[in-house]
Amino acid sequence: MTEQTYAPGTYPDLPPPSETVGPVHWLKANLFSSPVNSIVTLVAIYLLYLALPSAFNWLLIDATYVGETRKDCAPGGACMAFIGERFNLFVYGFYPAELRWRVNLAAILLVVAGAAVLWDKMPARKHIMKFAMIYPLIGAWLLSGGLFGLEYVGTHLFGGLMLTLTIGVTGIVFSLPLGILLALGRQSKLPIIKYFCIGFIEFIRGVPLITLLFVASTMLSYFLPPGTTFDLLLRVLIMVTLFASAYMAEVIRGGLQALPKGQLEAANSLGLNYSQAMRLIILPQALKISIPGIVNTFIGLYKDSTLVIVIGLLDPLGIGRASVADSAWLGLSTEVYLFVAVFFFISCFGMARYSLYLENKLNTGHKR
């Protein structure tokens, strides 16, 4: 058998050593890279060994998924029949059953508009972006009605996941542009604008959100003309947006200060005015730097929506607490908290993963 010969530079690449690739290498590099890591890994495996079997049995093997009261649930297992029985209440709150198609349609349109904003390769993205710009008005019209033949539905009937998404999405959409304006205003050379923005940011950051919600729900009417009505949910949306925008402004200001002054000087040397320099050069870089802080603020805002329970609005947590007070489902708080925790975890984890994707996509600098 003759040995095959290769011309210089044409010898095929050899596969990497088995010690540097594959699952064994990953385990050694990440879980057993040192004695301390090995001990921590073994302790974690032991704790999972103790916890997972009982949790698996409680949630799946011994759980009851169909039933009308707690008496139908098997002892020793999760009574998930409670979640199934009250699922519509958790999702729609007290929204009329015959009109819930409007909530479903608003949710579908939200997914379409959100996909156009977040996915730059979406087909016909330019046209759908125009729709996304007016979606807040369309969503408000679908949910509340009162115009163009749609029956009016009072916001006091909003609740559950629908209420959480309404507050979270509204706060996220409007707090970012308002935060950008506040951050730029805080760095303004005009004293009136600068000190107004500073005063607003410091006041909002110095007062708890629960206090602002309480003021919006009870004390705001004292400052309005007699007989003036102001929808409670609208007051909550305004307060939540203002609260988040103050924190957003500080996050974006940190991104602005991280940029060297040479960026603005270079923009001026190109003949760009202030608005052009901010829109084309400064803000894109500052927002890229601020992505982790911005998404962190979004997640905090989203979870803070549970505070509306103190002013009488029932989010999923509030509906769950009210439901377990029913004599037919007493003592099922664990299942309620687990359901709400899974919902918030999925939502917040999705935002965190998209943040990581966006950071990697826009990473045009040097990785450390």
Q: What span, in angstroms and rounded, lies between the C-alpha atoms of 282 and 207? A: 31
359, with CB counted inside 10 A (0-12, 13-18, 19+), is middle
| In the predicted structure, residue 178 carries a pLDDT above the cut 50 | yes
Residues 301-324, mean pLDDT to the nearest whole number: 86
Question: Could you tell me the two tokens for 219?
Answer: 């004390």
| Tens digit of each residue's pLDDT (9 = 90 or more) over 243-258 | 999 999 999 999 888 8
Q: Collapse the DSSP code of 64 into the 3-class scheme (helix H, G, I; strand E, B; otherwise coil) and give the result.
A: strand
Name the pLDDT band for 311 (thresholds 50, 70, 90): confident
pLDDT of residue 9: 67
Q: Over the range 32-59, which residues count as b (16 or more CB within 10 Å of their CB) and which as e?
A: eeeeeeeeeeeeeeeeeeeeeeeeeeee
| Tens digit of each residue's pLDDT (9 = 90 or more) over 82-107 | 888 888 888 998 999 999 999 999 99
**Hey, how many other C-beta atoms are within 10 angstroms of the C-beta on 90?**
22
What CATH number matches the domain at 90-95+153-329, 1.10.357.10, 1.10.3720.10, 3.40.50.261, 3.40.50.300? Answer: 1.10.3720.10
Name the pLDDT band for 366 (thresholds 50, 70, 90): very low
| Tens digit of each residue's pLDDT (9 = 90 or more) over 7-66 | 776 767 767 666 666 787 788 888 888 889 899 999 999 999 988 888 888 888 888 888
Q: Which long-range contacts (CB under 8 A, 24 or more apart) does 277-285 make?
A: 278/184, 282/256, 283/180, 285/255, 285/259
Question: What letter represents residue 332's amino acid?
Answer: L
Q: What span, in angstroms and rounded, lies between the C-alpha atoms of 252 and 183? A: 6
Q: What span, in angstroms and rounded, lies between the C-alpha atoms of 99 and 297? A: 33
Choose the weakest-confidence range: 157-161, 267-271, 331-335: 331-335
| In the predicted structure, residue 323 carries a pLDDT above the cut 60 | yes
Domain with CATH 1.10.3720.10 in the chain: 90-95+153-329
